[in-house]
Every structure is written in structure tokens, then in C-alpha cells.
Structure 1
Amino acid sequence: MNYTAKLLPREKVFRDPVHNYIHVAYQVILDLIGTREFQRLRRIKQLGTSSFTFHGAEHSRFTHSLGVYELTRQICDNFVRNYPSQQPGDGLWNDHERLVALCAALLHDIGHGPYSHTFERIFGTNHEAWTVKIITSPETEVNQVLRQVDADFPEKVASVIQKTYPNPQVVQMISSQIDADRMDYLLRDAYHTGTKYGLFDVTRILRVMRPYKKGIAFQANGMHAVEDYIVCRFQMYQQVYFHPVSRGMEVVLTHLLQRAKFLYEDKGSHHIQVPTLLVPFFEQNFGTDDYLKLDDGVLNTYFTYWRDNPDSILKDLSIRFLDRKPLKSIAFTPETETILPKMRDLVEAAGFEPEYYTAINDSFDEPYDAYDPANNNNRAKPQIEIMQEDGSLNELSTLSPIVHAIAGRTTGDRRFYFPREMLHPDDLQIFTPVYDEFKQHVSNNALK
């Protein structure tokens, strides 16, 4: 698709801790960054409750989105320099696709709500659907900027997010098992959490990426850099994204919003300090403007009000969230799961409502999904193809023993969450046999 856009008189750059400089040459990109909808991403943390575990993880979806844009720009530069299309259908890169790729990369997360995934579970929203809606809705500034390129340009950008855009190279730049989105968040999250698990040779990976008719492949001489990326991603999920304390804070947040929703539906908003901006979501009657008014700060403000609420549960959960008092947890297996109802009963006997003070949290990830001809399920992401010098393709796990060892294997755990006071009851008047029995059950499992 041949879309053109006005170039800036002089390239604009943003300093970035991960990519050093983020380069902007098109006016449309600069205009998109300045929209109300994109600026809102400054107020939504990239890692949600992970900042309660890794104190440096205060970075926003704004910075991540700029990073995804920058990596996509570098991919386009590599493709046009080394693999320019010579004739239609040759499977090489047509640089007329650059603008739609850059805009989709920049806007791919614009639909995230406050405390993204927790908010989605409570109110039934979907960030990808909201991304498409924000891009295509005539009432948004983003849509108005995109329509300056062409009347149908917003729909083309949205189709990349929806994975229906006709050029698979553009789609795979933004959404595949090794794309600009994943590469940026691994590097950026590793930087801000102070961990080294997510560090891989992104320069080398960008160098060995190449287009072909069905999407994007990687040259065989760069296979080990790709292999290292897969291992880094595996380690980041286990050590950072699935950290039990971050999940404990997410459970508190989930139950806090659930309690607020219950009180509103049961008694009316006056019992929870009139959360005006949340009322449309409690009533499931919200539009784009309602959605865009919300960010992490809005929710935190309501939580601050609620720490003085007459409802003891809402008050306590607000304090636990704001003052970082996560629920404790134990990992359990199918063999030990049978004891959980008894532990839940003991929590209730100690004076805590199980609905709000216990939870089962599942966190699992598949580090790499290799194609299995025996499996009829469609893969969520295209597999990683390694291109040999003769142009033949091999799926990554058939060449890499390390990737083969983790391909198709789901990793993670299931945890039972409960109040910390069940293990440290000094500040509570808990009936001693209840506490002793609960502690005995915990000691029979691996407390982490």
C-alpha cells in the first residue's frame, strides 16, 4: 500500500535509556505522540504491580511504545537497505509499507487501561479491541491525525493490530514470537527491574532479520542470537513477570476493585466516596471518553479516599495496596490442592472473608511454540524460521537443542494466596489453634 506522509524539516530525536536515541522523521509520528490518547500512556505503568517487587519498574507504556516504534524503524531501515523489492511478488521489502508499520508499532498498546490486565478481568475490557477502537473512532485525536495521511489509513493501521493486514511482514514486525514489541519489553523491563535475564543481542538479531514471502525469517549465521533471545524471555517470565510478590499485590488490587464494585451495586456509590470516573464501568455503560479518562493515578486516588472508608474490607484492602502489604502464598500441585479448602476455612475462622482474602493465581507461559503437525490447534504466533544460504527454511527448534528442550512446554505455577497475618499473627487476636493448624499446613508445602 503506497502511503506517503510529510517529512519533518529536521529529524526529531528522543533520548531513551534502552535505545539511546529514538528517531522521528515523519510529521504524522510526531503528531501521534502529541495526541491526548498517546500522552495518557505516560500515566499507565508498563509492569503494573511489579514495581512493588522491583522498585525501579516505574516505566510507562508510553516509553515502551516509543521503543517498539524505534525497533520497527530499524527493521524497516535494514530491510530497505539490504532486501529492497525489485519486482512485485518477489517476497522482498516494499518500503511503501514503512508508514503503516511505524504507526501500528507506535500505537499497538494505546488501548491499555489502568493496571492493564487486572482492570480487564474485573470490567471485561480487552486492550487490543480498545486499541482498534481508539485508532478507528472519528472522535479521537489519533484517528484525526491518521486520516491526514489518507481516509482509509486508520483502518489499515488497525488491521495490523488485528493481524488481518495483507502483508505478513508488517504484521510479524509487531506481533510474532520475536517481534519489536517483545524485544523492547524484554530489554526495557530488564533495565528498569535491574535484572539481567532479559538482556540479549538485539543488534545482532536486527541484523539477521530478513523478509520473505510469508513473513520474516532469520539468517542461519544469527541463529544463536535468536536462541539466546528465547532463553532470556523464558527467564524473564520465571523471575520477573511471575514473581509471587507481584502476583500477591495483583490479588489485592483485584479484590479491592471487586469490593468497590460490589458496594456500588449493593448500596450505591455514596458508600465508596462516589468514584465518578469508575461508575460507567460499574454499570457496564461506558464509551471511549470514559475509558480514556482512566489511568493508574485515577485508581490510586480512589484507593486513597477508600483507606478511610467505613466499609472495613474496602478500607483494609486499600491500605494493603497503597502501603505494599501483599498477600503471602504457597505453590501447590494437584496432589496438595486437596488441602486448600481446609486452609480457606481456617482463614475464615481467623476473621477474614475468604472471597477477599484468599485466591488461587495461575501464571503460565509457553517460552516458544513450535509447529506440531499432530496438534490441530492454531498457533497464536508464527513460528521462528531460520533461513539457510540456499534459501531453505528450518523451524528454530529443529536446529537448536536448547530451544527444542523448552519448545511447547508450559512453565509456571499455581499459588494459593492468603493474609500474611496467618503466619505472623502477633498483631491480631487470632485463636491460637487456628493459627497453629494453618501454619502446619503451610510447613507441609513449599512456602515461597
Structure 2
Amino acid sequence: MTVSTAIARLNAADPDFARHLDHLLSWESVSDDAVNQRVLDIIKAVRERGDAALVEFTQRFDGVDAKSIDDLILNRERLELALTRITPAQREALEKAANRVRMYHERQKQDSWQYTEADGTVLGQKVTPLDRAGLYVPGGKASYPSSVLMNAIPAKVAGVAEVVMVVPTPRGEVNELVLAAACIAGVDRVFTVGGAQAVAALAYGTESVPQVDKIVGPGNIYVATAKRHVFGQVGIDMIAGPSEILVVCDGQTDPDWIAMDLFSQAEHDEDAQAILVSPDASFLDRVAAGIDKLLPTMERAEIIEKSINGRGALIQVRDMQQAMEVANRIAPEHLELSVADPQAWLPHIRHAGAIFMGRHTSEALGDYCAGPNHVLPTSGTARFSSPLGVYDFQKRSSIIFCSEQGASELGHTASVLARGESLTAHARSAEYRILTQEKGN
């Protein structure tokens, strides 16, 4: 197998740098008409025929010889069996990662709160977990037990009573690591169903699959399209684009380390994006040499090659301050600050899904076991979005209790504003509660 790279070289000093960068970053998750219509048809079938449609689609798309929905349900005992089928080293790694993820997310848990004003009016917020969450997990060879931990554990920490997992098993391929991760993370029910049909089942419910309040987890274009269509019926986490890494380096980290960090995202798929920004031109040259040297040693060399050549870049900047400006413009999913004093540059970062600090903190650690969630905003959405967390599985209700005096005083303000909006019933509703002696004043 012959692989070669021709990674793009950009310089922030060039007059057309902004145009080239925008072109490099452009990516849209667009479903063509055929995909969109197919997904709509699948959703309609699941809503109308429930379990029967799920069995039919699983037979057709996954090649699974399922006679009924019972053949597509895994009970808790089956998940516990998976723990015995993986190696001791794998079980230890899963449990250690799960403990770290759980410990980190425990700190995110929000509690209800109230405060009382001088006149006895009470205001506050009631925080309540979702009743049921649905977790989509890719199946077959493209299986990610780490995603099970990252999606299920925050839900359980939030207090979600039931986590339902759907995972396809194409041609009957069951990934024991995924099932073991589900067991460790506390998943309550598992259905071996995938694709748009699994999303539809979670959103609307069938005779066997319970309707959930929110669907989280990655999937292919059919899954992403289905999530778009059911949003509103249920909540969703996000519509994720290809994985991204941006490394900002001062030129003092081992160039082979940086090359491999870029590979760590490029190996996900051909559309993944890996970018290095540095003020040191000779360092960029050394990293480029490291890419060429290391690429032939990679199992997924062809995928990495297409990703690096198609969407990767080495960007030279004037100085570290300009590197920060470029980083904020990109708003990456993963940002490595591979510099001498990352803490000093942290205040300059405004937009990033996760920030990996220092030369020894590879993005790969965050994917598996550091603790923070690896479900992150992509395609520049870190400008307004956050990593998946406990807060995604909690909802907040406002609490308003007015004392007699408080209702009377607020009634005057509400009345003026309501009449200014020509909403007379609003005004009179508030005015009814104004104390008699105040009305006469």
C-alpha cells in the first residue's frame, strides 16, 4: 500500500488567508433528497407499525434473522455476561474510565434553589432529571464503548430513572466491549436496533421500545437526519459533524508527538479535520516530515491520508497571540495548547469544545479516560455550544410564590406593562390582587 501526504500549508500573513481558511473549514451535514425521503418513510412506518416495522427494517438493513422483537432485546443478564467475556485488562480499563467520568460529572450536578424577598415573595428554580433518555450507539466494527460511558454516565448522575440504549448488530455482530460498557454505565434496557428506525422508535415509542425524552449519541447520515426530524418531539444532543483537532504549538514539542495527535482525529474518517498552528516555520516542516514518516505505520493509513490531504493544514502565524486569534476563529472541537505555559494562554481562548493543556496532554486521553465528556460541539458550533454533560439530562422549572404584599406591589408593574401591550386580561388579572388600600392611593 502506497500512501503520501500533501497537507495544505497556509500563512496567516497572506492577503487571502481568511478565504483559504474559510474554504478549509467549510463542511455541511446535508442530507440529499433521497436520504431525507427514505428517513421520513422509515419514521412513518415505525409510527404506524411499531415493533413489526423495527423487525422488518432490522432484517432488511442489518441482515439479522429476527423473528420477533423479542430477538432484538438484550436483558440485564446479557450485559453482565459481557463483563465475563472481555479480558480482565479491558474490564479494568472500562471501570477506571467509568469512575473518572462519573467523578467529573458529579461536579456538574445542579441542585434546586430558592430565595425569599423581604415581603415574603419566594423565587427559585426546581431542577428535575429527565424521566427517560435514549442512547444511540453505532454497532458492528465501528463500535465505541467509550461513547457508551460518555453518554450514559452523565444521564445516570443527573438522576435519569431509565436509560435505553439502541445498538445495531449488523449480520449478528455483537460487540462485547460495548455491552460491558453499558453494564458498567448502568444502562437499563438494550435493543439491538439501529439506523433511522431506532431513532424513530425512541422518539415515538413502540409496543416494546419506550418513548424517551431525549436522544443522544453519534450515528451515520441516516441517524443524523432522523434526529433532525424528531427534534421537537424529543430533545437531541446535537447534530455532530466530523471529528476535529486543532493543535497550537510553540515549536518545542516533539514533532512526532504532534503528527500522531493529528492522526488521532484524522483516523476517524476521511472528513475528519486535523490542523496545526505554530509561529515556527521550521517546526511545521519537521511535523510535515513526521507525518510522512509515520503515516505508513498506521493501520488506517488510507483514511488518514485522505483526511490530511483533503481537510488538514499546517498554518504559520506571526506569534502566539495571532495563534489564539486563529484558534478562536476556528472554534475547534478539540484544542491542544502544546506550549510551555498553557495556563497563561487559557484566558485568550473563547471558543473550544475541550482544551488540552500542555505538551503531555494528548487529545486521546480525553476521548477515553481523563473524565470530561468527549461528546463535543463540532463545525464551529463551540461558539455557542458546550460539551454533553449532566445539565443536558436535567430540566429547570421556575418557582414563583408571591406573598399578598408582594403580589400587590408587583401587580402595579405588571399592569402598566400589560396595558402597554394592549393585553387587558393580563393587566386585570394582576390588578385583582392589588391590595384595596393601595388601589385608592
TM norm structure 1: 0.22
- Which has the bigger relative contact order, CA under 8 A and spacing at least 6? 2
Q: Which has the larger radius of gyration?
A: 2
TM norm structure 2: 0.23
